[in-house]
Amino acid sequence: MHLSGKQALREQYRRERHERFFQESWQHILVSSEFIGANKIASYLSYGEEPETSDLHSQLLGMGKKLYLPRLLADNDLEWVGWHGDPSELKVNGKIKEPIGPAISAEEFADIEIMIVPALHVDRDGNRLGQGGGSYDRALARSSAWKIALVHYGEITGEKVPVEVHDQPVNAAATPNLLIRFVR
């Protein structure tokens, strides 16, 4: 079976991530002006070797921010649910956890000021390579929020990430010790 360029890159990046993975924190991003001024933040529940978000979520909620988490729909799109940090308000769906409760309206989604998203790699133009389902690209396309991808060391690259028409760039990317904003 022949793999597409993007799928081959995903497999390579997953292998590299697995070989060098260790748990880190991305809490340094919370002192940026974007986070200090924002009140409504969408994020994701990390799993496996994705950049850890549980400590970010605790800090954001402790700062009085409103936090929204995604729930996967049958068509691979995402809907967003407000979450207050209670693990009993999460359920397992395959290999991920998702929030329980009513989804927010399109109007409430439009009010989200920051979206934290996962990525396997981000290039110097802010193009991200995700897991391949397109779920986050759909959400990013509908949002005017400031968008930041979390990646591990070495996953921000000068090499171009393959981009298709549906792919959505981010405004910034963060490693455990850097926050890089992209200029367009």
**Position 1 confidence tier, pLDDT thresholds 50, 70, 90:** very low
Give me the pLDDT at residue 48, please: 83
Give me the pLDDT at residue 95, please: 86
The pTM score is 0.87
The average pLDDT across 79-106 equals 95
Give me the pLDDT at residue 107, please: 96
Give me the pLDDT at residue 33, please: 96
| DSSP secondary structure string for all residues of 117-140 | EE-SEEETTS-EE-SSS-HHHHHH
What's the Rg (C-alpha) of the chain? 16
Structural domain range at position 102 = 5-181
CA–CA distance, 145 with 139 (Å, rounded to integer): 10
Edge-to-edge strands, sheet with 146-150: 78-83, 66-72, 40-42, 114-118, 146-150, 172-174, 179-181
Per-residue pLDDT tens digits for 36-76? 999 999 999 998 888 989 999 999 999 999 999 999 999 99
The average pLDDT across 13-35 equals 81
CB 62 within 8 A of CB 35: no
Whether 146 shows a pLDDT value over 90: the answer reads yes
Place of tokens 């981010």: 170
Task: List the CATH number of the domain containing 12.
Answer: 3.40.50.10420
Per-residue pLDDT tens digits for 94-141? 889 999 999 999 999 999 999 999 999 999 999 999 887 789 999 999
Give me the pLDDT at residue 143, please: 96
Give me the pLDDT at residue 22, please: 61
Total number of domains in the chain: 1
What's the mean per-residue pLDDT of the chain?
A: 91
Q: Which helix (H) or strand (E) holds 98?
A: strand 96-99
Q: Which helix (H) or strand (E) holds 106?
A: helix 106-110
